[in-house]
Amino acid sequence: MSRHRATDGEDQTAIIPRVTEESAPRAVRPSPRPAAPTGPPVVPGPPPGPVAGRPPADLPPPPARVPLDRPETPTAIIPAVSSDATGLLGAVPPVPPKPDLPEGAATAAPVRTQPRRGERVVKLRPEQTDDGYKSVYSELTRPTIGSRIRAGVRGVGELLITLGVIVLLFAAYEVWGTTAIIGGHQDTLGQQLDQQWDQPDPTVGPTPSASPKPLAGNAIARLYIPKLDKQWVVVEGVTQKDIRYAPGHYPSSADPGKIGNFAVAGHRNRATFWRLDELDNGDVIVVETKTQWFVYKVVRTRIVRPTQVEVVAPVPGEPGKKPTQAMVTLTTCNPKLDNYQRLIVHGELTRTQARSDGQPAELG
C-alpha cells in the first residue's frame, strides 16, 4: 500500500494495483542523459529566483520515472481519492440525502398500534404461564363458538352426502343389479319347466291319477305380455322367498284357464313387473301350460291399498261370490321403488289354443 499526501493536508489512503508492462496504458521510456560539458567549469552562484510559469523550489520533486526493464513496478500516477468516492472501492455507498420536504409535511407514515376491526393480533413468541410455555399458535387453534358451529355443519353435510351416495347405489342395484340376477334364475327355472313338461302326463294312461299339487317355489307356467316384450316363468307361492326371482301364483286362486281367478304377484323391479302400469284395456296377456295356451285381454286397471285382498278373490272385488268365468289378475307394488299401494290388472279369458298347434297369433 502506498500513501499520497494531498495538497489540502488530509491523509488519503488507496490501494495501488500492480501495473505490468502489458497492462500499462503507455510505455514511458527514460530520456537520454545529456553529455558532460566540455567547456570551462561553472562557478555556483546564488539560487535563481522564481521564474514565472515554474513551480517554487521548496515543492517536493515529482516522482521518479521507472525504466521499462522493471515491469513489476507501477508506472501510473494514482490520483487522490476523497472520502465520498470510497463506494468505488467496494465500500458501502453513502446514504443519499433526505429530500427537502415542504414546511408542515409529515416526515413518515404513522405506525398503527391498535388492530383494525376484524383483525386478530397473535403473539409471535411463546408466552410463559403457570402451566408452562404457551404456544404461539394457541390463539389460532383455540376452538370458538363459531368454529364449533362450522365443524358441526361440515360434519352434517358430509353425513348427508354419504347417505345420498348409499341411496343412489342401492337404487342402482335395485334397478340394474337385480336384472342380471333374476335373468339367471329365470333361465334355470325355464330349464326345470321344460324337463317337467317332457315327462309323461300321469293323468293319461290306463289308470289315470290326479295331478299332484305343485310344491312352493316350483315352476308351473309361463306368462307373456307382448306389449312389454316380456315373459317369465311363474312359480307356486307368493312369499318373499318364492317371488324373489319370479312371479308367484296365489295358491288359493284358480289354476290357469280354469273358472275363477288365476292371480299372480310379482315385485316392482326392472326384471319383473316394472312396466305393468303401461297396460291398457284390450292389451293381451298369454299364459302357457304343458298342454294349452290361454289368451286373456285386460279389462280393468286400478290402484288399491295393501289390505284390499278381495282383488284376488274368485270374483275380483266380490269375495264369497261364485265365479262364472275364467280371469287373470296381476298384482305388484305401487309406486315404483315403494310399497304403500298395490297396482292391480284384471283380464278375462278370450280363447284357448292347444300347445301342439304352435304359438298363438297374439305372440307374433
Annotated active-site positions, please?
267, 333
Separation CA 287–CA 264 (nearest Å): 11
Q: Tell me which amino acid residue 236 is.
A: E
Q: Which residues contact 148 (CB under 8 A, 6 or more apart)?
A: none
Q: Are 274 and 330 in contact (CB under 8 A)?
A: no
Q: Are 212 and 202 in contact (CB under 8 A)?
A: yes
Q: Supply the DSSP symbol for 13.
A: E
Separation CA 118–CA 113 (nearest Å): 15
Q: Are 312 and 331 in contact (CB under 8 A)?
A: yes
Q: Are 55 and 111 in contact (CB under 8 A)?
A: no
Scanning the structure block, which residue is given the C-alpha cell 489512503?
A: 13
β-sheet bridge partners, residue 264: 249, 330
Helix (H) or strand (E) holding 303: strand 292-304
